[in-house]
Amino acid sequence: MRTVRINRTALTRNPLAALSGLLAGFAALTVAELVSAAVRPEASPVTAVGGAAIDRTPTGVKDWAIRTFGENDKIVLQLGILATLALFAVAVGLLALRHRRTGSAAVLVFGAVGTAAAVSRPDSTGFTDGLPSLTGAVAGAVLLYVLVGRLTAERADERGEEGGWDRRGFLIAATAAAAASTAAGAVGRTLNDRGARDAIASRDAVRLPAPASPARPIPAGARPRVRGISPFTTPNDKFYRVDTALVIPKVDANTWRLRIHGEGVRRDLEFSYQDLLNRPLIEREITLCCVSNEVGGPYIGHARWIGVRLADLLKEAGVKPPSRGGKADQIIARSVDGMTLGTPVEDVMDGRDAMLALGMNGEPLPFVHGFPVRMLVPGLYGYVSACKWIEDIELTTFDAYDAYWVKRNWARKAPIKTQSRIDTPKPFGRPEAGTVMVAGVAWAQHRGIEKVEIRVDEGPWKPAQLADQATVDTWRQWTYPWKATPGSHTLTVRATDGTGETQTEERTKTVPDGASGWHSVVVTVD
């Protein structure tokens, strides 16, 4: 009789122990969120652990994640962390039912992992970054101890028999814990959002002045009217985003400063946002592209940028390019979130329109694209040039320092490879027989595009019609009226850049310095 009772008790207590673990985990995260509002939102455990995981993920896996999940990669990572935490919480709850203290100790161990991750982030502001994980873990450990205490409290049950447990006590404690955690999480979120308010207000207050050197207008002939082709200028909210930030940095332009210093700098310089706005601004059409863009991929966009010519600032600091005897050959740009990007000094100072951009398509930079200031160097992939949320420019050498991505197997130097993409028809499209407009984009920033050719199946290469070239730093659109005959066909495109070099057929991976190969699309003509 007695054994049966105990088993039945175990049947109800195990799920409740699992629930206790989940409640303890929830309390840990929400208390951490609340405390992170007093420290910094980036110090909350899921963000810190996620950031540390991103830094430690092997390049191949990261590339796979970008390919597979695209711009949702960060959401997938965070869901993964939460799912792992939930599994762990259930296990710890079951453990605590048997060994109450060990269960709570396990929660503290997890808290230690979060604390270590937060403190060791490159943008960590010190030991205070560990406080959210630490206090969260203590709250979770104590709660688990209390809840499991109710589950294991020897109580006579309603019928006065031995071996029962404190149902009422458990119910009250669990409900109170759930309510308090929800409240802590909600307050934490609200406070964290409020912290971003100054940054949002500072962006709202920006009025971009007219540029001293306006961009040449894009010729009408640069935009062929073909349905399905990428718009020449990518709207800001459609512009691709690639970065490692789990929380988009919200920087207050009023307190932001940029420092220029390092090897070969005669005078350290510091600028406020207003200092930069007050300078003569240049406005330029520049197409930006990610080294993780596969052949035919979406990680490319075009915008009109407004900003300060970077070479002017470097000259004021007394910097000389290596070709004129300068000591530093590399710029390390650092962002507020601890990212580092390395750019050749020579490229920045060779006369091209390398800039610190303040505006994008007529508005201050959107937060995701680097407000208040980002770097741009026409002709170079983003990871070696386009530092968002920049706050520091250090002159150094390629021998002395490897930037973030270089430490992860990407090339030190990465000029953009000549590439072309068929935008329409779409892969596996079913156009009608007759004249089908094939159209797309080609790019070889800073060299320009001289020729685009199309091949149908294994036929001869035929020149596509080139739209006008806006500048050598922009992509170029092209069209090809194709006399489509019924059946399955493969369309292939290749481009030739302004130096006369034709895009190579050889397929390479994105690592280490960008994908190469021809883009092709298979369609069935009805």
Ligand X SMILES: Nc1nc2c(c(=O)[nH]1)N[C@H]1C(S)=C(S)[C@@H](COP(=O)(O)O)O[C@H]1N2
Residue 383 sits in the site that holds Mo ion (CB under 5 A) = yes
Residue 290 sits in the site that holds Mo ion (CB under 5 A) = yes
Among 47, 133, 244, 343, binds ligand X (CB under 6 A): 244
Residue 294 sits in the site that holds ligand X (CB under 6 A) = no
# residues near Mo ion by CB under 5 A: 4
At closest approach, how far in Å is the CB of 341 from ligand X? 6
What is the distance between the alpha carbons of residues 446 and 346, in angstroms, rounded to a whole number? Answer: 14
Residue 404 sits in the site that holds Mo ion (CB under 5 A) = no
Cα→Cα distances 292→107, 332, 492, 509, Å:
38, 21, 21, 9
What is the distance between the alpha carbons of residues 380 and 378, in angstroms, rounded to a whole number? Answer: 6
What is the distance between the alpha carbons of residues 331 and 380, in angstroms, rounded to a whole number? Answer: 13
Q: Which does 328 bind (CB under 5 to 8 A by kind): Mo ion, ligand X, none?
A: none
Residue 413 sits in the site that holds ligand X (CB under 6 A) = no
Among residues 271 and 299, whose Cβ is nearest to ligand X? 299
Residue 303 sits in the site that holds ligand X (CB under 6 A) = no
CA 459 to chain centre: 41
At closest approach, how far in Å is the CB of 241 from ligand X? 4
The helix (H) or strand (E) run that includes residue 111 is helix 100-120
At closest approach, how far in Å is the CB of 291 from Mo ion? 5
Are 502 and 496 in contact, with CB atoms under 8 Å apart?
yes
Residue 475 sits in the site that holds ligand X (CB under 6 A) = no
* Residue whose CB is nearest to Mo ion in the complex, by number: 290
Among residues 256 and 383, whose Cβ is nearest to Mo ion? 383
Binding residues among 20-59 for ligand X as defined by CB under 6 A: none
What is the distance between the alpha carbons of residues 300 and 239, in angstroms, rounded to a whole number? Answer: 8
Among residues 253 and 384, whose Cβ is nearest to Mo ion? 384
The encoded tokens of residue 45 equal: 């455990």
β-bridge pairing 390-396 and 257-262:
parallel
Select from 26-34, 74-82, 342-350, 381-389 the region that touches ligand X (CB under 6 A): 381-389
Q: Which does 206 bind (CB under 5 to 8 A by kind): ligand X, Mo ion, none?
A: none
Q: What angle do CA 370, 35, 389 make, to 5 degrees?
A: 10
Select from 28-36, 196-204, 332-340, 414-422 the region that touches ligand X (CB under 6 A): 332-340
Residue 467 sits in the site that holds Mo ion (CB under 5 A) = no
Residue 167, burial from CB neighbour count under 10 angstroms (0-12, 13-18, 19+): middle
At closest approach, how far in Å is the CB of 505 from ligand X? 25
Residue 242 sits in the site that holds ligand X (CB under 6 A) = yes
Residue 45 sits in the site that holds Mo ion (CB under 5 A) = no
Q: In one letter, which amino acid is 464?
A: A
Select from 98-106, 171-179, 226-234, 382-390 the region that touches ligand X (CB under 6 A): 382-390
How many CB atoms neighbour CB 112 within 10 A?
A: 14
Are 503 and 420 in contact, with CB atoms under 8 Å apart?
yes
Residue 392, burial from CB neighbour count under 10 angstroms (0-12, 13-18, 19+): middle
Among residues 134 and 339, whose Cβ is nearest to ligand X? 339
Select from 213-221, 233-241, 277-285, 499-507 the region that touches ligand X (CB under 6 A): 233-241
Q: What is the chain's length? A: 526
Are 53 and 80 in contact, with CB atoms under 8 Å apart?
no
Select from 44-52, 205-213, 314-322, 382-390 the region that touches Mo ion (CB under 5 A): 382-390
Binding residues among 274-293 for ligand X as defined by CB under 6 A: 288, 290
Are 335 and 391 in contact, with CB atoms under 8 Å apart?
yes
- Show contacts of 50-55: CB within 8 Å, 24+ apart: 50/74, 50/77, 50/78, 50/81, 50/246, 51/117, 51/121, 51/244, 51/246, 52/117, 52/120, 52/121, 53/77, 53/81, 54/244, 54/246, 55/122, 55/244
Select from 51-59, 61-69, 315-323, 385-393 the region that touches ligand X (CB under 6 A): 385-393
Residue 335 sits in the site that holds ligand X (CB under 6 A) = yes
Residue 408 sits in the site that holds ligand X (CB under 6 A) = no
* Residue whose CB is nearest to ligand X in the complex, by number: 382
Binding residues among 338-357 for ligand X as defined by CB under 6 A: 339
> Among 218, 191, 232, 249, which Cα is nearest to 365's?
249
Interaction site with Mo ion (CB under 5 A): 242, 290, 382-383
Which spans of this chain sit near ligand X (rule: CB under 6 A)?
239-244, 288, 290, 335, 337, 339, 369, 382-383, 386-389
